[in-house]
Amino acid sequence: MINKNYSLSKWLKNLENINKKTIFNLIELKSLAKKLNLLNSKAFIFTVGGTNGKGTTCAMLERLLLNSGYQVGLYTSPHLINYVERVRIN
């Protein structure tokens, strides 16, 4: 699980080295969300899945919400070159 003493660079390196077939189970995700105080969030969360059009759909949602005055965080996976490409805020 998460070590609170990790620096961002160590955490990103850990994520890059994780076995690609490793998937967090729901209990681990709930535990992580609880530790990060995310369970009481009033934020809207959209999950976009499927084979085609995810990038376009996310870009359109992001632009629509930003233009409507919302603060927007966008997480995409996989990254192309660097892990920090996965996260965009406003």
State mean pLDDT over 49-72: 92
Buried b (16+ CB within 10 A) or exposed e, 47-60: eeeeeeeeeeebee
Question: In this predicted model, which residue has the larger pLDDT, 70 or 17?
Answer: 70
**Distance separating alpha carbons of residues 18 and 21, to the nearest angstrom:** 8
* 19-51 pLDDT tens trace: 655 556 777 778 888 888 888 878 888 889 888
Predicted confidence (pLDDT) at residue 65 exceeds the cutoff of 90: yes
Rg for the chain (alpha carbons), in Å? 15
State mean pLDDT over 39-66: 88
Give the number of other CB atoms < 10 A from CB of residue 23: 8
State mean pLDDT over 56-78: 91
3-class state of residue 74 by DSSP? strand
